[in-house]
Amino acid sequence: TLILISHDRDFLDPIVDKIIHIEQQSMFEYTGNYSSFEVQRATRLAQQQAMYESQQERVAHLQSYIDRFRAKATKAKQAQSRIKMLERMELIAPAHVDNPFRFSFRAPE
């Protein structure tokens, strides 16, 4: 086992077969070379974003139902049930995409 840290993709691609990516205080393990890592990570982020958007649609639908029927006597119990459902729902975070890193050097004086 060798821990290698580098920003040179061309150097990493033929050498590595496993990548541990640290992001948002979590570690993600990817198998394969660096090119494979980029594809796998993009897929994971796309799936996470799709799940987040789907959940947000579900939350909006439930909230709409609650807002419409909370005060209506015949539907109040169902509205309360949906409020509890929203409270118990484990929220999915939106996919985090790193901002492009830019830097510049000042001209020497």
DSSP 25: T
Flag whether pLDDT at 104 surpasses 90: no
**3-state SS assignment for residue 90:** coil
C-beta separation of 4 from 16 below 8 A: yes
Asked whether residue 77 is assigned to any structural domain, the reply reads yes
Residue 106 inside a domain? The answer is no
pLDDT tens profile 44-77: 999 999 999 999 999 999 999 999 888 888 888 8
Residue 90 pLDDT level (bands cut at 50, 70, 90) = very high
Q: Is residue 36 part of a domain?
A: yes
- Is 46 within a domain? yes
Number of domains in the chain: 1
pTM over 0.85: no
